[in-house]
Amino acid sequence: MARRKPTAPPGRGGEGGAGARQLLPVALDTYWQVHREIAEDLAPFGLSTTQYLVLVRLAGGRHEAGMRQLAQSGRHDAATMTAIVDGLTRRGWVVRRRSAVDRRRVVVRLTPRGRRTHQLATRRLILRWRRALRSFAGAEQLQLLGLLLRLLEALQESGGAGVAPGRRGGSP
């Protein structure tokens, strides 16, 4: 895929959105390329990207989370997360149980097999990222990380503040 070269530096928010017009197609291309490559790397493990994200959430911290937490962190509704966790349970990567603190609450826990699958899949993904980032100096990698984190935060803060189809400027 050919790389797009910006014709001018991306503008700040107050410059009429010229930066957004240039960044959006690149962001979409990047999203689909990253998604495709992650899917390729996870395929040998029989994992979907969504399932892998659940393993990532569970591998951090206490190795267990409530269904609601998993659904919110994965930006899925409860029914979708139930189906995702069902698939992980069938593979022996997670188990469900009632919370010892609140018996009404169901928690999902990573199994030793799930932990190992997570570690192996993560190792494979990191190898690809290292190859992709090898042309970036260490300082550039840190700068990219900082910029992506700022972008993610800004997108999360503006979530749902999109413009309705057929409307301009978001005003009624």
Query: Residue 53: how many CB atoms within 10 A of its CB?
Result: 18
What pLDDT digit, counting tens, does each position of 89-114 carry?
999 999 998 877 777 788 899 999 99
Confidence of residue 144 (pLDDT cuts 50, 70, 90): very high
Query: How confident is the model at residue 17, as a pLDDT?
Result: 64
Whether residue 161 has pLDDT greater than 80: no
φ, ψ at 126 (rounded to 5°): -65, -35
- Dihedral sign from CA coordinates of 132, 63, 113, 49: negative
Whether residue 20 has pLDDT greater than 90: no
What domains can you pick out in the chain, each with its CATH number?
A: 37-148 (1.10.10.10)
The pTM score is 0.73
Q: How does 73-88 read in b/e, with b if 16+ C-beta sit within 10 Å?
A: ebebeeeebeebbebb
Residues 6+ apart with CB under 8 A from 108: 54, 58, 64, 65, 66, 67, 70, 85, 88, 94, 95, 96
